[in-house]
Structure 1
Amino acid sequence: MHLYPFFRSLFRGIFASVYRWRVIGRENIPDGEGIVLCANHISNWDPVLLGCGIERQVHFMAKQELFKVPVLSWLIRNFGAFPVKRGAGDRQAIRKSLEVVNQGKVLGIFPEGRRNRAGAGDVGKVLPGAAMIALKAGVRVVPVAIIGPYRLFRPITIIYGKPIDIVAEVAGKESGERTQYAAEVIRREIQALMDIHKKRA
């Protein structure tokens, strides 16, 4: 576990010097409760960036193929990552996700499911997994916008929005509609953060 703050400090230095990164809304991350961070996904660097922006450790699902690479597997396990089978309903990964937030920890998810290289463009279709986990656990969701692209000495911005009470958002909805509606709320809130950045740019 002691590796996490060391590498976080290391990568903060890299992002500051190489990408001139800006972090906005760090104060929106609540202390002492399980939360789900939901961010748009534009690069393989996104998990590192998402974790570097805040003081709490972020736990991620990572594709199971990465855990077959000896050194990388050891490293990402020490960072709190756990495997998920992509393209299938991985019940074990879902159980682990619920365990993480129920223990009061931070779970990071990219609900688009794959990289969307548009950078500062629009959020793509959001899959229901993150919404389902938040609803099952009864935890809040923090929307996050990553504004790229990742280019040397070009600014990259990460914006943490205010927490969303996702359970309250779906109150009054039919049970069969709640997860999909919650997923749309998450997509909309990430998009709103990106739109605000566009207006300021």
Structure 2
Amino acid sequence: MTVELTGHQGLPRTDDLPPLPYRLALPLRKVARPYFLRKYKLTIHHEDRFPMTGPLLMAPNHLSLLDAPLLGAIAPRMLHQLGKIEVFGGLQGKFLQRIGQIPVDRSSYDMLAVRKSIQVLRDGRVLNIYPEGTRGPGDFRRIRVGVAYLAMVTGAPILPVALMGTRLPGGDVEGFPPAGSRIDVVYGEPFSVERVPFPRRHSDVQAVTEYIGDVLRAHVKAAVDETGHPLPGWREPKDPDD
């Protein structure tokens, strides 16, 4: 999500927005979770770290098309997820919005997506945002400022999530892993950043973004070490003495 960092006196309004729908997602989750558990060799690590009340920014790495439906099915709480506006066309788009998902135009400052995201957190719900902004190696090498902005203006804690196996080495980011593939989902320890009132300077938001990136990268590395399940294309850093 692209976020403009100037020009807002405090938080944007959300009291004029209609409530985001989500009730249709609840019975779907009951069906989808056992489906994914049957289809894949799925292991969920440290689910006890997932806060069961209050606003939450869930921050997973992003490997494939499977990530969003998988997390939407297995997370202990219902998720509102940000997704690129291109997938919200036609009947699919209507369905995604009926289950509480939020389209975002990544090419511009999408004020409506920002307001809906803040609304989710103000309502004490869970917002799933992919800090990397797009599917890739999943190592949090680069992250966008959206997660830092939302954490700074709302005070919501951030939950790191490491996904391994939703894309196989050499696999297509537009595809799904074959049935029976091993998948690990590793929840990290929630953490918070200081809530910052207006004005939030670009340099401040960038500094918080870098701090969040350090935490997320450390979590992915720890998850790989714990599970022995590498990311697609993961390479151990070379010894500088080699």
**TM-score for the superposition, normalised by structure 1:** 0.87
Q: Amino acid of the residue matched to residue 190 of structure 1?
A: L
Aligned equivalents of 2:193 and 2:69: distance in 1?
A: 25
SS in 2 for 1:21: strand
Aligned equivalents of 2:82 and 2:223: distance in 1?
A: 28
Aligned match of 1:137: 154
CA RMSD of aligned residues (A): 2.0
Deviation, 1:78, is 2.2
Aligned match of 1:33: 54
1:1-201 residue pairs with structure 2 within 5 A? 1-70=22-91, 72-116=92-136, 118=137, 122-148=139-165, 149=167, 150-167=177-194, 175-200=201-226, 201=228
Count of residue pairs the alignment pairs up? 193
Aligned equivalents of 1:94 and 1:195: distance in 2?
A: 30
- The verdict on how the C-alpha distance between 1:110 and 1:16 changes in structure 2, with shifts beyond 3 A counting, is same
* Unpaired segments ≥5 residues, structure 1: none
Aligned equivalents of 1:79 and 1:20: distance in 2?
A: 26
Is contact 1:145–1:191 with CA below 8 Å preserved after alignment?
no
Q: Amino acid of the residue matched to residue 133 of structure 1?
A: L
Q: Amino acid of the residue matched to residue 221 of structure 2?
A: D
Moved more, 182-191 or 18-27: 182-191
- The verdict on how the C-alpha distance between 1:186 and 1:49 changes in structure 2, with shifts beyond 3 A counting, is farther
- The verdict on how the C-alpha distance between 1:52 and 1:185 changes in structure 2, with shifts beyond 3 A counting, is farther
Percent of aligned positions that are identical: 28
Aligned equivalents of 1:197 and 1:19: distance in 2?
A: 19
Is contact 2:133–2:143 with CA below 8 Å preserved after alignment?
yes
Is contact 2:133–2:144 with CA below 8 Å preserved after alignment?
yes
Deviation, 1:136, is 0.7
Aligned equivalents of 1:138 and 1:128: distance in 2?
A: 15
**TM-score for the superposition, normalised by structure 2:** 0.73
What is the CA deviation profile of residues 4-23 of structure 1, one whole-angstrom value per residue up to 9, with x for unaligned ones? 13222322223212221111
Is contact 2:52–2:76 with CA below 8 Å preserved after alignment?
no
Aligned equivalents of 1:184 and 1:47: distance in 2?
A: 24
Is contact 1:40–1:110 with CA below 8 Å preserved after alignment?
yes
Q: Greater CA radius of gyration, 1 or 2?
A: 2
Q: Amino acid of the residue matched to residue 189 of structure 1?
A: V
* Unpaired segments ≥5 residues, structure 2: 1-21, 168-176, 229-242
Deviation, 1:175, is 4.4
SS in 1 for 2:57: strand
Say which structure is richer in helix.
1
